[in-house]
Amino acid sequence: MKKIALALTFGLLFNFCIAQDANNLTPKPNYRAAAKYSPTNLGKLVHSTSVRPHWLKNGNRFWYQYKTTSGSKYYIVDADKRSKKELFDNEKMAQWLTEITKDPYDAQHLPRFDFKFVKNETAIQFYVTSTEKVEEENDNSDEEAEKQTDSTETKKKKKGKPKMVNKVYHFEYTLGSNSLTLLDNKKKEKEDWRKWANIAPDSSVVLFSKNYNLYWMDKENFLKAVENEKDTTIVENQWTTDGELYYSFGGSSGRGETNESMKKNKDKRQRIFGIWSHDSKKFVFQRRDSRHIKDLWVINTTASKRPTLETYKYHMPGEDEFYKTQLYVFDIPSKSNILVQLDTVKQQSVQVYREPIKKSSYDDDFTPSLLLSKKGKIYYNTISRDRKKLDICVADINTGETKVLIEERFNTYIESRPLVLLNNETEMLHWAERSGWAHYYLYDTQGNLKNQVTKGSYHVERAIGVDEKSRTLYFTAHGIPKDQDPYYEHLYKINLNGSGLKALNPGDFNTNTSMSDSNGFFVSNYSRVNTIPKSELRNSNGNVVMELEEADLSQLMATGYKFPEPFKMKADDGITDIYGVIYRPFDMDSTKKYPLLEYVYPGPQTEAVNKSFSVRMDRLDRMAQVGFIVVTMGNRGGHPDRSKWYHNYGYGNLRDYGLADKRHVAEQLADKYEYIDINKVGIYGHSGGGFMSTAAILVYPDFFKAAVSSAGNHDNNIYNSWWSETHHGVQEEIDENGNVKYKYMIDNNQSLASNLKGHLMLITGDVDNNVHPGGTIRMANALIKANKRFDFMLMPGQRHGFGNMTEYSFWLRADHFSKHFLGVEATSIDITEMNRDKPKTKS
């Protein structure tokens, strides 16, 4: 008996020691480190990381703002002259503003300017708001009210204390001059007209929607409306009479509006979206009939005294009904209209091609949307509901007669890019994945193929510009260099006959480019996740004209920040390369064993893997600082920037397609790094990542031990039809009477609820009108019925992105994984890390 007792004692002691060793190997949660890298704090540490050029109309010139730890500076670059100058001297500008406004300024703390270039781009105008209070001038609407009535209420308003407002200064600065000119003290005019006015390119007429119908007014009356929208002398002209809710000519569709606000705003001027002909004589409008589409609802319980209902149309996968589209052409001079000849019996989507907006027009007061053609043609595409049939079409703008130019057919889904017209509209460039890779094809405008322009095992992203004189195409692409990450994007040029392919900003970096309207120069911003972002100016031959900026990360690095590490592993098939990034605690102790967390977004339209340095660290670097190794990685069926095979791998299996790769890569990482604890693997994500993280913990319940799933589309039967039917597939079936039916079958997460072994947290916003909260609630319902314990959080009044509760959701995740992987549960009622740095100005 003594021997047995000794053995039991020894066994208990042995197990205790093992437990103690395990506890000693587990890192302690470091909430303070995670709090240090909140979005608010990062805004103080990292400023500009790229150059965003504002291209000007005269020459190859642009201006930009760049902020460092020394403050903001504004520069103007003339690429033709190879010159870069400060737009103004900060010291002098601070002195002028101080002298005129009587508010103190210095060179490091100038206000943020919103410039408007004037006088043939030789001067800039801008507004500055002072701290000085002045009596508000009566606006026209008050004057109009006084004209119309002399009621007791109006008299009271006249005798009342005047409203005091901050004084506004409107300045003009001539570039290179030595003074600042005060133009006036009028505040910048309200631009409420932007909410409703669609202005013709020649400004002769303005279109808008009212009571679901199309209205118009001439320039004279529009200018009255700009001055005072309530001016009773404004003449409005009604054009259509048959518009109604959900079958309207512009106006609100109900999405994001309460039923009460929809009724209230019905009689107000609202926006009508459409496309103008270049001569301002035609307006093309896509009218969509969704009256027969079923309603969906969310209830906003926090926005007003009474909870309010929001009703909107929402098409779900497999439903027989579908949106019906008509293309109207409105003739401005005659006030008549015709219909483009569409087959309205087919269930299809329609997209009209537009002329690209010039880079030098981005800052214009208004940029009308123009048809691609200047010659009386409407180029558009139709794509079938199952997205397997795409037709490129052209219609005559005067008759509506239409012709199919190009047909694309595929057994999965077809994607597209904007059509490019060139050579006086006798040729066009068409983007297609018909070879299994995305490439451009040159056609004549009768629909005859001339030649394939780009070819090879790489993915062309999009056309940036065409030099018609030299017959050169400029385009961005991925995967051309075989010795680097295939997701890295670069700018290339190639002759339209397919010869002369050349990289214009090569290097083992991801790049983001902005090309001038002339195609002569481009700004290239480049970095990896583990390098300091830099910006440069290059010419159309790829030669560096000048170095522009290098991001100032000095304050970030001073905090102990360390770059993450890119990696490459094999997918579960042992063949396909999977690319990812690993994030570690900055104070990592390699003698300890760290839980592994995977942050996921499954695609198929993208993957949650950063390729460039980013200050958006909320879901990655910060979570690692709590005490985890955090990784993001791709998966077969993810990002479209690779082959069509890779992108469409999950077609027909939209729940499980990426999970084996997530598991297999985690095992490879644990084999490579001894400090990863493969027995503590967690997974988390938002939206599609919420869907995937829950699927992972249910499909591989013995591998993934904890998960946090926010805003997940757990039941894709009630998610929107476009995403679900496109990426998973919908079966078109024709019965014996010729009627077309659509069959949609997809696995959902709740069918696996009984598999749950790990610790799952579900989060959703209660007014999410993208991924309806019903998906998360159905998941919770299934778990309850399966007698499972889990955590559930409803974010009151929040849409899909959680808005101002995003930071709160971060700490929910931190708490969840800390409790279940690090053995420390946060029990304080206050989230100290959110409250610590807030000023306590109110009780």
pLDDT at 495 (0 to 100)? 98
Q: What is the pLDDT of residue 253?
A: 76
User: Within this chain, do residues 369 and 236 fall inside the same structural domain, yes or no?
Assistant: yes
Given a contact cutoff of 8 angstroms between Cβ atoms, the answer to whether 394 and 377 are in contact is: yes
pLDDT at 153 over 80: no
- Whether residues 541 and 619 share a domain: the answer is no
d(CA 3, CA 71): 77
> What is the pLDDT, as a whole number, of residue 6?
53
* Three-class secondary structure assignment of 804-824: HHHHHHHHHHHHHHHHHHHCC
Name the phi and psi angles at 562, rounded to 5.
-130, 140
* Distance in angstroms (rounded) separating the CA atoms of residues 666 and 677: 10
With tokens 């499980």, the residue in question is 656
Identify whether residues 68 and 171 lie together within a single domain.
yes
pLDDT of residue 596: 98
Residue 841 lies in a domain: no
Sign of the torsion formed by the C-alpha atoms of 191, 197, 200 and 203:
negative
Confidence at residue 159, expressed as pLDDT on a 0 to 100 scale? 58
Predicted confidence (pLDDT) at residue 20 exceeds the cutoff of 60: no
Least confident of 457-466, 492-501, 513-522, 828-837: 828-837
For 88, which DSSP code?
S
> Which CATH number do you get for residue 299?
2.140.10.30
Rounded CA gap, 348 and 387, in Å? 8
- Encode pLDDT of 308-337 as tens digits: 999 999 999 999 999 999 999 999 999 999
* Six token digits for residue 532: 């300091």
Domain assignment present for 722: no
Rg (CA), the chain: 30
The pLDDT value given to residue 259:
82
Listing from the earlier edge strand, what are the strands of the sheet with 439-444? 420-422, 427-432, 439-444, 449-452
pLDDT tens per residue, range 235-274: 999 999 999 999 999 988 777 788 888 888 888 999 999 9
CA-nearest of 502, 454, 452, 463 to 481 is 502
Domain CATH number, residue 683? 3.40.50.1820
Structural domain contains residue 728: no
Domain boundary among 171, 191, 211: 191
Residue 591 has pLDDT above 50, yes or no: yes
Same domain, 252 and 186: no
Give the per-residue pLDDT at 155.
46
Q: pLDDT tens across 797-834, in order?
A: 999 999 999 999 999 999 999 999 999 999 999 999 99
pTM exceeding 0.75: yes
| Extended beta strands in 575-712, E state | 577-583, 594-599, 629-633, 676-686, 704-710
Q: What are the tens digits of pLDDT across the range 63-112?
A: 999 999 999 999 999 999 999 999 999 999 999 999 999 999 999 999 99
Q: How far apart are alpha carbons 724 and 751 in whole angstroms?
A: 18
pLDDT band per the 50, 70, 90 thresholds, residue 4 = low
Q: Are residues 335 and 370 in the same domain?
A: yes
Residues 588, 694: one domain? yes
Question: Do residues 206 and 179 both lie within one domain?
Answer: no
- Whether residues 525 and 563 share a domain: the answer is no
- For the cut 70, the answer to whether the pLDDT of residue 9 exceeds it is no
Instruction: Assign residue 119 a region (left: φ > 0; alpha: ψ between -120 and 50; beta: otherwise).
Output: left
CATH code, domain carrying 447: 2.120.10.30
What residue spans of 26-114 are helical by DSSP H? 31-36, 39-45, 90-101
Instruction: Using pLDDT thresholds of 50, 70 and 90, give the confidence band for residue 736.
Output: confident
| 3-state secondary structure (DSSP) of residue 263 | helix
Q: Of 525, 543, 542, 544, whose CA–CA distance to 533 is shortest?
A: 525
Residue 66: its H or E element: strand 61-68
Which range among 301-305, 516-520, 751-755 shows the weakest confidence by mean pLDDT?
301-305
Say whether both 176 and 203 belong to one domain.
no
Distance between CA atoms of residues 64 and 75, nearest Å: 6
Q: 832: helix, coil or strand?
A: helix
Cβ–Cβ under 8 Å, residues 351 and 381: yes
In-domain check, residue 448: yes
Q: Of 548, 567, 591, which one is at a domain's C-terminal end?
A: 548
pLDDT confidence of residue 236: 97
Instruction: Return the closest-CA partner of residue 691 out of 725, 729, 659, 737.
Output: 659
Q: Taking residues 285-300, report their average pLDDT.
A: 96
The number of domains in the chain is 4
φ, ψ (nearest 5 deg) of residue 409: -135, 140
Q: What pLDDT score was predicted for residue 138?
A: 64
CA–CA separation, 646 and 579 (whole Å): 13
Q: Which of 530, 548, 566 is the last residue of a domain?
A: 548
Average per-residue pLDDT in the chain? 93
Average pLDDT over residues 685-714: 98
Claim to verify: residue 811 and residue 673 sit in the same structural domain: yes
Whether residue 405 lies inside any domain: the answer is no
781: pLDDT strictly greater than 70: yes
Cα gap 836→843, rounded to integer Å: 15
Same domain, 433 and 517: yes
Q: Residue 589: pLDDT above 50?
A: yes
Question: Is 54's pLDDT higher than 60?
Answer: yes
Let me know whether 222 and 118 are in one domain: no
Q: Please, which residues have CB within 8 angstroms of residue 426's CB and are 6 or more apart in sequence? A: 444, 445
pLDDT value of residue 191? 84
- Asked whether residue 657 is assigned to any structural domain, the reply reads yes
Question: Is 77 part of a structural domain of the chain?
Answer: yes
| DSSP letter string, 718-753 | GS-HHHHHHHT--EEEE-TTS-EEEE-----SGGGG
pLDDT score of 141 more than 50: no
Q: Phi/psi zone of residue 256: left (φ > 0), alpha (ψ -120 to 50 degrees), beta?
A: left
State the DSSP string of 343-391: -TTS-EEEEE-BPPPPGGGTTSS----BBS-SSSEEEEEEEETTS-EEE
* pLDDT 10s digits, 633-690: 999 999 999 999 999 999 999 899 999 999 999 999 999 999 999 999 999 999 999 9
Scan for tokens 């500055």, then name that residue.
128
Burial class (CB within 10 angstroms; exposed 0-12, middle 13-18, buried 19+) of 799:
middle
Q: Is the pLDDT assigned to residue 168 strictly greater than 90? A: yes
400 falls within a domain: no
- Per-residue DSSP letter, 31: H
Quote the domain boundaries for residue 248: 197-270+272-388
